[in-house]
Structure 1
C-alpha cells in the first residue's frame, strides 16, 4: 500500500496531534484531536461476504462490504468528536491505472487530491484469497483518508517538500505507521465481523515477518503500531509523530 503525495501544505504535524494545552496548529480543528476521537471499544457488526476462489465479482463484493464497514466505524468516531466527516470514493479495478496515475506495488493506494481509495484486484488474491490480507487494503487506505480529513496529510506534506531525502523517508514512515495504527483501531471493533481466518497474534506475527518497504518502514514497527491501535482501540494511541525514531523507521 502506498500513498501518492501531491501539492499539499498547511501546518506542523506534531502541533496537530499533541494533546491540549499544547500549541494549536494553524488551519487545524484543534490540538488533542486524536484523543477526542477515542471512546470505548464497541463491537461493530458488519456483513462481510465470503470470497470465492478465482472470482473477481466476489472480491469486489468483499471490498465494497469492507468499505461500508469502515465508513460506518469512522463516521461514528468523527461524530463523537464533533468533527465533519465524508467518506472517500472507492474504486475497485483489475487494471493498472487510477485517478492518481499508475497503480504499482501492493495494488492499493489513496489519492488525496481526489479523496479516493483505489483497490486493484491482484492475481495472487484470486489464487489465494487470504481474507485478512485483502481486508487490510481497505483498512490501511481508509487510515490515510482519516489523515486527510484531520489535516495530517497537509501537515506532513508541508514538511516533506523542503526536506532532505533522509528526512522524507522518516516522514513517510511516520505517516504509514499511523495509517497502520488507525487500521488497528478499526479492527478493534470489527475483527469478528471480518472473519479473518487467522488469530490476531498470528496476523501480527505475519506482519512482523513481511518484506521491508522503503516507504512504509520496518515490518516489526508496522506490526507494533497496528497492534497498538488494536489493543488501545482509540486514535489517541496512534501519535507516531512524537514517537522515537527507532519505533517508526
Structure 2
C-alpha cells in the first residue's frame, strides 16, 4: 500500500502512556471481582444495556468520557500509518458528504493499551478495534495488528487500513442516523433478531470501507498488487463462522453479529468495485 508522504491527521489521541494497561475490570476508580462481573453480564442481558455500563454503575461511578492524552504522541511508523489512513478517510468522506450537500464531522481515533475509558464504558483490548457513537471516537490497541498476523495469518498494510476504514464506516453510519435506528429497533426484538440487525450494520461498514478504498485509490493510487487480496483475507479471517469454528469447533448462526466470512468479503467487494454509498444498503432485504 502506498501511503508514505501523504497527509497525516491531527485527530489522533495517543493514550498509550496513560498507564491504563493490565488485566481485570476497573471502572470509576473501583474494581469488581469475577462474581460482580457475572452479575453485570446477566443484568446487561436482561436490561439490554452494555455490560461496561452496568459494571461502571456497580462500581460506583459512571464511565469517564475522555482520558488525558500524551503531550508528545509517538511518531513511529505504525502511528504515522494510522494517522495517514485516518486522514485519507477524512478526505474521502468529506468529499462524499459535500457532494450530498452535507458536512462530514471528523471523528477522533484513540490509540490505547490494555484498557481506556470511553463514553461507552471502559474499552478493552480484548474487544478489538471499536467505534463508540456517543463520543464519536474509534478506539484501537495497535497490538491487534500483531494479532492479525499471529492468529489469523493476515499480513499487509492494506489489511490494517481495512480495519480502520471499517470502524470509520461505523462513524459514517452514526452521522447518517443508522446506528440509532438499529439500536432502537433492537430494543423491541428478540436476541436473534437483534443480532441479525447487527450483522447488517457490520456488513454495511465493510461496504463503506470498500467505498473509501475505491475513492482513495482513484485520487491517490494507494493500492499495490496484492493489497485487495490482503483485505479480503482479513475479512475472511474475522467472519463470525470462521471465528466460532476456530474457537469452539462449530458455528451458531443465530449468534452471529458481524456476518460470515463470505458475506464480509461480498460486501467489501461491493463497495470497492462500485465506490457508491447507495450500493451499501444491507437493510433492503436483499440476500446478504
Relative to the length of structure 1, the TM-score reads 0.70
The answer to whether structure 1 residue 237 and structure 2 residue 262 are counterparts is no
Corresponding residue of 1:200? 228
Conserved? CA contact 1:108–1:119, under 8 Å: yes
Deviation at 1:119, TM superposition (A): 1.4
Paired residue for 1:112, among 133, 139, 155?
Answer: 133
Q: 1:82 to 1:108 in 2, by over 3 A?
A: same
1:47–1:201: structure 2 CA closer, same or farther, 3 Å change rule?
A: same
Task: Find 1:79's aligned residue among 91, 98, 109.
Answer: 98
Equivalent residues of 1:45, 1:190 under 8 A apart: no
Structure 1: gaps spanning 5 or more residues: 1-43, 50-54
Distance 1:68 1:173, change over 3 A: same
Name 2:157's counterpart in structure 1.
131
SS at match of 2:134: helix
Q: Once the 2 structures are TM-superposed, how far is the Cα of residue 93 of structure 1 from its aligned partner?
A: 1.8
Higher relative contact order by CA 8 Å / sep ≥ 6: 1 or 2? 1
Q: Quick one: distance in 2 between partners of 1:228 and 1:161? A: 30
Cα drift, residue 94 of structure 1 = 2.6
TM-score normalized with structure 2 length = 0.61
Aligned residues: 198
Flag structure 2 segments of 5+ consecutive residues without an equivalent.
9-73, 150-154, 244-255
1:195 Cα deviation from its structure 2 partner? 4.3
- C-alpha distance in 1 between matches for 2:97 and 2:4: 18
Match of 2:83 in 1: 64
Q: Deviations over 1:185-244 (max 9, x none)?
A: 001122464446624256435533544253201010011011001111110100000133
1:167 CA displacement: 0.5
The 4+ residue runs of structure 1 with deviation greater than 6 A are none
Counterpart-to-counterpart distance in 1, 2:145 and 2:184 = 37
Residues 173 and 233 (structure 1), Cα distance of their counterparts in 2 relative to 1, 3 Å cut: same
| 1:94 corresponds to | 113
